[in-house]
Amino acid sequence: MKICVTSQGDNLDSQVDPRFGRCQYFIIVDTDTLEFEAIQNPNIDAMGGAGIQSGQLIAGKQVKAVLTGNVGPNAFQTLQAGGVEVIVGVSGSVKEIVEKYKKGELKPTDNPSVGRKFGMGQK
């Protein structure tokens, strides 16, 4: 099964990026084999709608869940419509997060965790 973790770097030892729409990288990991793909986020500097664009990008990758720090309402809605579970409030290295997820320690949220524009202006 594939999941996506937002990350500050391009490998499994990188730290989680707490923003969704404007994170540095999306790491798409196969939870069984730990094979992964690091996608540099093309939406970091989007004027608006970064969460929506990122949401579509990730939904298109057929992942079961997204694990990140925070998700705004537009991104949340997009991910839900794309059938992707959203898990917020995670931190640590990507690898640790994947392990926790596999053990079933992380539960999806039913609500966006922050208001609009949360990730704006942070680098």
Partner 1 sequence: MIISVASGKGGTGKTTVAVNLALSIPNVQLLDCDVEEPNAHIFIKPSIKNRMPVFILVPEVDKTRCNFCGKCKEVCAYNAIAVLKKDVLVFKELCHGCGACAYLCPEGAIKEVNKEIGFVEIGEKDNLQFAHGKLKIGEAMSPPLIKAVKQYMNPTRTVIVDIPPGTSCPVIEAIKRSDYCVLVTEPTPFGLYDLILAIEVIRKLKIPFGVVINRADLGNRKTEDYCHKENIPILMKIPFKKEIAKAYSRGEIIIETLPEYKKSFQQLFSKIGT
Contact residues toward partner 1 (CB under 8 A) are 46-50, 52-53, 55-56, 59, 74, 77-78, 81-83
Query: Exposed, middle or buried, 108 (CB in 10 Å: 0-12/13-18/19+)?
Result: middle
Of 38 and 46, which has the nearer Cβ to partner 1? 46
Exposed e or buried b per residue across 43-74, where buried means at least 16 C-beta atoms within 10 angstroms of its C-beta: beebeeebbbbbbbbbbebebebbbbbbbbeb
Of 48 and 92, which has the nearer Cβ to partner 1? 48
Report in angstroms how near the CB of residue 83 gets to partner 1 at its nearest. 7
Of 83 and 92, which has the nearer Cβ to partner 1? 83
Report in angstroms how near the CB of residue 64 gets to partner 1 at its nearest. 14
Q: C-alpha distances in angstroms, 123 versus 41, 55, 119?
A: 13, 20, 9
CB 59 within 8 A of CB 84: yes
Report in angstroms how near the CB of residue 98 gets to partner 1 at its nearest. 25
Report in angstroms how near the CB of residue 51 gets to partner 1 at its nearest. 9
Residue that is written with structure tokens 């039913």 in the block: 110
Of 72 and 106, which has the nearer Cβ to partner 1? 72
